[in-house]
């Protein structure tokens, strides 16, 4: 399988994030992508190529140009303010209740993007979990190019291709970044496929978290079906979206399927959910599935609470490919660094119909246990 990678992600050099107001060691770190790259290289069955530049148009096809401009200048604006912060997070978020009683027209007329970076980060941002540093914009642009190059491979005839996107994308909405995500790589890829082929596209999101950004972007669209398996937002980030009764509106009604799972979800729970998800995808026409691939569903993941093991990734990859559709597989989350490479290798080998034997040297054995 061809795999698209670029070292440009290293410029998004994150060491600290804030969690409920407190600095903690970052989860979404450069080492994640490097672990995956090394495991796929060790496998021998993956051919790596770099991304080609696709420009800004495919980004503004799904994102507000204002978000793009903010992300482009945010770091230099922060430096101009001379606050001396190691990364940018917001001071104030515009909670919807700040405007209670005001008409939508009044809000639209009166509320505008602030001038200070601390306010602008709140205007465009969802949360404090997406620290922005000097190299973030370049890395996020490169991740989009990785996704679009992966699309090119599949539209050029590959049955499946893998884009090692970092930073990830699925929490990023049309006009909002957050949750370690800046541009929505999977949504940009899906939109590019729709425009290139005129076909309908399905997105299968198997990251532990609900992909609120992808859901938002396609909420009222009839041509992109979004199907996600994730932790119930009653207990997990992003808390405010991801419930089973969110089905889309207008032309998009019935095109959004959320499958929330309980804490402790097992391989068996997961495979049942995956079968439901794939069945829903096959109910609509189309020849390509964009996969938002996350490994924060793994039993040892530091921010997830599922109990999945590596074998289930191989099986989900196998079943996804068995739909007969071509696969644009794009990396999202997954934060247990020792297992990331093996889990990616397992999923992608499954998607190629190849068997999977763990390589002890690339992860297993480092922590001595396999959950479940």
Q: Find the part of the chain contacting ligand Q9C (CB under 6 A) among 35-43, 176-184, 308-316, 317-325.
A: 176-184
Q: Would you tell me which residues interact with Zn ion (CB under 5 A)?
A: 207-209, 294, 296, 333
The first and second tokens of residue 212, run together, are 């609120």
Closest distance to ligand Q9C from the beta carbon of 94 (Å): 19
> Given its phi and psi angles, is residue 340 left (phi above 0), alpha (psi -120 to 50 degrees) or beta?
alpha
Measured between alpha carbons, how far is 360 from 54 in angstroms, rounded to an integer? 38
Contact 326, 158 (CB under 8 A): yes
For ligand Q9C, the binding residues in 33-72 under the rule CB under 6 A are none
Q: Find the part of the chain contacting ligand Q9C (CB under 6 A) among 47-55, 73-81, 177-185, 257-265.
A: 177-185
Q: Find the part of the chain contacting ligand Q9C (CB under 6 A) among 133-141, 175-183, 247-255, 259-267.
A: 175-183
Residues contacting 119, CB < 8 A, separation 6+: 90, 91, 92, 113
Residue 180: contacted member of ligand Q9C, Zn ion, none (CB under 5 to 8 Å, by partner type) = ligand Q9C
Task: Please report, to the nearest 10 degrees, the dihedral formed by the alpha carbons of residues 320, 326, 328, 334 taken in order.
Answer: 10
Contact 233, 205 (CB under 8 A): no
Q: Out of 163, 333, 341, 350, name the contact with ligand Q9C by CB under 6 A.
A: 333
The residue (of 120 and 171) whose beta carbon lies closer to ligand Q9C is: 171
Closest distance to ligand Q9C from the beta carbon of 6 (Å): 19
Neighbours of 59 (CB within 10 A): 24
Residues contacting 115, CB < 8 A, separation 6+: none
Q: Which helix (H) or strand (E) holds 41?
A: helix 30-43
Q: Which of 332, 257, 247, 258 is nearest to 297 (CA)?
A: 332
The residue (of 162 and 208) whose beta carbon lies closer to Zn ion is: 208
Given 9, 63, 170, 171, which residue is catalytic?
A: 171
Q: Is 171 an active-site residue?
A: yes
Annotate each residue in 277-316 with x if it binds ligand Q9C (CB under 6 A) or - if it does not, as one string.
-----------------x-x------x-------------
Q: Which residues are catalytic?
A: 171
Residues making contact with ligand Q9C (CB under 6 A): 19, 129, 168, 171, 179-181, 207, 209, 237, 294, 296, 303, 332-333
């Amino acid at each position: 399988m061809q795999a698209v990678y670029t070292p440009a992600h290293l410029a998004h050099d994150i060491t600290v994030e804030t969690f409920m107001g407190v600095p903690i060691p970052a989860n979404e770190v450069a080492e994640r992508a490097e672990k995956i790259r090394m495991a796929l290289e060790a496998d021998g069955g993956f051919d790596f190529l770099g991304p080609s530049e696709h420009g800004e148009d495919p980004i503004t096809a799904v994102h507000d140009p204002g978000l793009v401009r903010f992300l482009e200048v945010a770091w230099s604006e922060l430096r101009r303010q001379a606050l001396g912060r190691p990364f940018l997070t917001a001071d104030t978020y515009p909670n919807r209740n700040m405007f209670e009683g005001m008409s939508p027209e009044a809000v639209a007329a009166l509320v505008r993007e602030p001038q200070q970076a601390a306010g602008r980060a709140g205007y465009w941002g969802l949360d404090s979990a997406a620290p922005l540093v000097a190299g973030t914009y370049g890395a996020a642009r490169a991740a989009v190019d990785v996704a679009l190059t992966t699309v090119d491979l599949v539209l050029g005839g590959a049955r499946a291709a893998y884009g090692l996107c970092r930073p990830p994308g699925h929490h990023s909405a049309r006009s909002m970044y957050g949750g370690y995500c800046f541009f929505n790589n999977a949504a940009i890829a899906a939109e590019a496929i729709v425009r290139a082929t005129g076909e309908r596209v399905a997105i299968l999101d198997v990251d532990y978290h609900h992909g609120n950004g992808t859901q938002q972007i396609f909420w009222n669209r009839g041509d992109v079906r979004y199907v996600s398996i994730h932790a119930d937002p009653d207990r997990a980030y992003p808390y405010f979206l991801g419930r089973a009764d969110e089905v889309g509106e207008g032309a998009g009604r019935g095109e959004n399927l959320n499958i929330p799972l309980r804490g402790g979800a097992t391989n068996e729970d997961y495979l049942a959910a995956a079968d439901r998800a794939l069945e829903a995808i096959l109910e609509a026409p189309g020849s390509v599935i964009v996969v938002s691939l996350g490994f924060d569903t793994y039993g040892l993941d530091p921010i997830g609470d599922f109990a999945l093991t590596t074998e289930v990734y191989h099986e989900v990859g196998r079943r996804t490919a068995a739909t007969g559709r071509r696969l644009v597989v794009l990396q999202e989350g997954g934060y247990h660094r020792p297992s990331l490479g093996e889990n990616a290798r397992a999923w992608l080998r499954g998607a190629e119909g190849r068997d999977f034997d763990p390589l002890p040297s690339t992860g297993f054995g480092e922590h001595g246990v396999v959950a479940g």
